[in-house]
Structure 1
């Protein structure tokens, strides 16, 4: 078996996504700062954040059957090109003096839509690029990729925004272009090959598969709960850090430390996933999160906030590697796009609601008060996690 590091197609795809994910983290950190600098409204920032996540609710189900039917390599390529064109419109509008919140909503939605198609196509292509025995290691490397970008991207995004509000978005546009060029060198045939059938019927087949598998169903519902909390928490932490006298660089530093915990967790998960049962990971991670969230209320500044976030983020990659690997190996590849889209609709569909919820809770209760409803959700998820049965 060819070593994963010598798998050319995986290396090309992985390397391009290192650059693209870094760019997305840079602009993602800058986006709420730009909205807050433009309008001063956390609710507007929550609206833009929700627009970027809305495609996970409305587009995942129809996208899954299409990804199973189309050439996934082309889906990956077109997604990167279209996302790059959307994000470059932000600095252009800034230079022309016509930037509005409505445009930022549209840009965020376009980027989210491209991310939906890219994520589904990448997940479905991965078992065609790497052997089944190497799939957990490949998923762990993808986790490390995202976490490393999350470590470097927020501080860089904050620094670039401080130097010039347009710079983070220009950097993201360049990263999309570089990733698209890399995808031209992927040689593996990644065509899904699913037979054409009515889109609604195909989408519902993925939902039925998920709902009939108790392990996958429960794991997805728990992921939905944690996604709701941690997506809402992002805006809460931005406002909380600003209330504690952090500028753009401080906000970027906070998220950089936060993501550093995720990177450390991804590196640990590459080794630990072989030694821990899925049920142990699911219950343990949910209880760790429930125990850590209240510490944000007493953290004194951006560094302390980042350290608490890092502890939360450390646990996440182990969850992803263990649960995603087990679920991916259960699903026939010709169904993988549909099943993944159904799972993403259920687990990520809550995120636009979470972004709006973060804005609403922060505006009405303040950033500290907003933590307690989120803690209640995590405690409920932790109790449910004790009842999970593995596949």
Structure 2
């Protein structure tokens, strides 16, 4: 639980950043996210440019999600048993090599849609281990009294990467097809250097063999905590239905006529809103009504998605996506705080693995769903239905998870 002094004092953010390990942690996450976002924009634009097929954008999302779905539950016990820094190093190193291979393929003119999907699959496999690893590292770096502020501060840096990454990818793509992939490979290499530079005391870990029970322990733990189950499942279905990320190449190219740079701006817009909201939450953490505020934020997310779908003006579209990012950020902070504060360290790898699976499902599988549905009924109808569906999920979840509605403070308690 965040102490009252930490919550009330904006200087607490400076104290978090004064931690050398935390700076390495942030640098690693930001560089990795910059590389991933630049790659996503360039790969999505190149794939759609080659195929002019909305279904292929859906397959791109599925290619990232499938290995995550298969490997995430296995990743949890691995993260809890071994040095988390070395796992992060391995993941980011492989990502650097994979993206460098894509750059070579572009240079040689042999990068086909199938090879693009294969590269996306490799990235998904690495993310299955990297995401729970990095999430589990954070509580080992900062004291519990500073955790909520550290999460909000980390989120602000990550959202900056979400802003810069897509724009960087679009700009680099304009300079040459292979440029964004070269830059992304370098960013992953820098991320790997930073994660292995973190200095921590050796953790005492159980060396029991990985069993079926240990693999599914994270699921059992989450099922026993209705507040955690409610918040991560709400985020899953809201983004699964309401996320329009996979459709941005279509909106940018065919509806808004904005080009690659316009797509980068659209992709960055949610992060702009999220960044602004993260600044607010870093200075004014949620101290009461956390559950109710989360439900309200997700409903706003759905409504803004409908506005984006119906917009034919690039400025309005960017503004609507910025609102979705601000609303989603409230969900991110609530979910992350509850997961970290309610989970013992020896379980964090497995619990964060399940959380990552939910996030991956909402993002990558959501992109597959959006791409498939857009191919059948069109992108506008798909986005409108998704936004309306998100609002419907909020109403349903308020009835299914009254414990989440009663959460007041982000300290793991379920009753206000």
Give the corresponding residue for 1:149.
161
8 Å CA contact retained: 1:79, 1:118 = yes
8 Å CA contact retained: 1:72, 1:191 = no
RMSD: 1.9
| Shift of residue 192, structure 1, vs aligned partner | 6.5
**Which deviates further from its counterpart, 124-133 or 13-22?**
13-22
Instruction: Give the distance between the partners of 2:232 and 2:202, measured in 1 at CA.
Output: 26
Instruction: Give the distance between the partners of 1:291 and 1:80, measured in 2 at CA.
Output: 36
8 Å CA contact retained: 1:76, 1:183 = yes
Give the corresponding residue for 2:248.
237
Give the corresponding residue for 2:295.
283
**1:265 aligned to 2:277?**
yes
Instruction: Give the distance between the partners of 1:272 and 1:55, measured in 2 at CA.
Output: 38
Q: Deviations along 1:269-298, whole A, 9 cap, x unmatched?
A: 212323333212221112212322221133
8 Å CA contact retained: 1:16, 1:179 = yes
Q: Rate the CA distance shift 1:189–1:54 in 2: closer, same or farther, 3 A.
A: farther
Matched pairs, number: 390
**1:294 aligned to 2:291?**
no
SS at match of 1:274: coil
Q: Deviations along 1:287-311, whole A, 9 cap, x unmatched?
A: 2123222211332233321110001
**1:317 aligned to 2:332?**
no
**1:102 aligned to 2:114?**
yes
Alignment of 1:178-217 (within 5 A): 178-189=190-201, 191=203, 193-217=205-229
**Which deviates further from its counterpart, 255-264 or 26-35?**
255-264
**1:132 aligned to 2:181?**
no
SS at match of 1:386: helix
Give the corresponding residue for 1:223.
235
Give the corresponding residue for 1:383.
395
| Shift of residue 190, structure 1, vs aligned partner | 5.9
| Shift of residue 139, structure 1, vs aligned partner | 0.9
| Shift of residue 347, structure 1, vs aligned partner | 4.5
Q: Please identify runs of 4+ aligned residues in structure 1 that moved more than 6 A.
A: none
**Which deviates further from its counterpart, 375-384 or 207-216?**
375-384
Instruction: Give the distance between the partners of 2:201 and 2:126, measured in 1 at CA.
Output: 21
- TM-score under structure 1 normalisation? 0.94
Unpaired runs of at least 5, structure 2: 1-11, 408-413
8 Å CA contact retained: 1:57, 1:350 = no
Q: Deviations along 1:314-346, whole A, 9 cap, x unmatched?
A: 122222212321221111110111112123334
| Shift of residue 111, structure 1, vs aligned partner | 1.1
Q: Deviations along 1:129-167, whole A, 9 cap, x unmatched?
A: 110111111111221122101111212211111221111
Unpaired runs of at least 5, structure 1: none
Alignment of 1:150-189 (within 5 A): 150-189=162-201
Give the corresponding residue for 2:344.
332
8 Å CA contact retained: 2:304, 2:320 = yes
Q: Which residue, out of 378, 385, 404, partners 1:366?
A: 378
| Shift of residue 373, structure 1, vs aligned partner | 2.6
Q: Rate the CA distance shift 1:300–1:31 in 2: closer, same or farther, 3 A.
A: same
Give the corresponding residue for 2:94.
82
8 Å CA contact retained: 1:16, 1:178 = yes
| Shift of residue 90, structure 1, vs aligned partner | 0.9
8 Å CA contact retained: 2:301, 2:328 = no
| Shift of residue 312, structure 1, vs aligned partner | 0.9
SS at match of 1:198: coil
| Shift of residue 42, structure 1, vs aligned partner | 1.7
Q: Rate the CA distance shift 1:269–1:385 in 2: closer, same or farther, 3 A.
A: farther
